[in-house]
Structure 1
Amino acid sequence: MASTNLDHHLALLQHLRMILGALCEAEQVPEENHGLFLERFDELLVELPRDPVGAQYLGQDLISQTFHRYPQIAHLVPRDLLWFFGGDCLHFMPDEEIDMYQQLDERRFAAEQNGEAFDWNAEKQLLALPEDTPKH
């Protein structure tokens, strides 16, 4: 199940990489610095499956830089990536959202310990429902 969690975040990173690549194609950013940033991003995509723990700092750095360097796409950065990398990335999340992700992680760990399947996206939708909505 841990690999499914990693696969989910790798897919989100690849999606974000496509968005970052499109910025250059749309000539919204200077090519020289952007190219180096994309190289480091590609390095993360290679390193994360090999060494998920060791790649955490690179991920934190690149996600944080994405917010600072490319504010025009900040709303397109998947929130799951902020939680996954943690550290400085959490500064871009409100407390309520951090609380939701903590609950989500607790549910995921409980499911793993009980050998149960866990659907991250379905659970996230349940937790995001308003308080007065019945949850199954």
Structure 2
Amino acid sequence: MANTNLDHHLALLDHLRKILVALGEAEQILDSSHALFLERFDELVAALPVDQEGSLYLGQDLISQIFQRYPQIAHLVPRDLLWFFGGDCLHFMPDEEIAIYQRLDERRFEAEENGEPFDWNQERQLLSMPDEGSKH
């Protein structure tokens, strides 16, 4: 289960890296440190499978920097990454969204304890649906 969770977040990081690369290729970045930022991003992706706990601070730092350095793509940062890295990244999430992710984690841990399959994306969609009451 843990590998599935890590694989999900590595795929999201890969997607985010492609966005960052495209941003640089479109010459929308005047800062020459963009290449260095991408190198640090690659270090995170390489270190995460080896030392997940030790990589969390680097992840928090890099994700937070995206919001500061590249505000034009902040809306494209997958919300799952904010929750995954936690810490300072949670400042970019409203309380209601944090509550949803807390419930999502609780459901994931419960499924793991019971040896049940868990589909993160499906569960997140279910939890994000507005309550319509019992009208139906």
Q: What per-residue deviation string (whole Å, max 9, x for no partner) do you get for residues 8-31 of structure 1? A: 000000000000001110000025
> Does the CA-based 8 Å contact 1:23-1:29 persist in structure 2?
yes
Number of corresponding residues: 134
The letter for the 2-side match of 1:16 is L
Paired with 1:105 and 1:53, the residues of 2 have a C-alpha distance of: 17
Paired with 1:3 and 1:91, the residues of 2 have a C-alpha distance of: 27
User: Which residue in the other structure is 1:116 paired with?
Assistant: 116
Runs of 4+ off more than 2 Å: none
TM-score (normalised: structure 1): 0.96
Check if 1:18 corresponds to 2:43.
no
Q: Once superposed, what is the RMSD of the aligned Cα atoms?
A: 1.0
Paired with 1:31 and 1:4, the residues of 2 have a C-alpha distance of: 36
TM-score (normalised: structure 2): 0.96
Paired with 1:88 and 1:130, the residues of 2 have a C-alpha distance of: 27
Gaps of 5+ in 1: none
The letter for the 2-side match of 1:83 is W
User: Which residue in the other structure is 2:34 paired with?
Assistant: 34
- How far the C-alpha of 1:133 sits from its partner, in A, is 6.0
Gaps of 5+ in 2: none
Check if 1:65 corresponds to 2:59.
no
Aligned sequence identity (%): 74
Paired with 1:71 and 1:31, the residues of 2 have a C-alpha distance of: 14
SS in 1 for 2:52: coil
SS in 2 for 1:96: helix
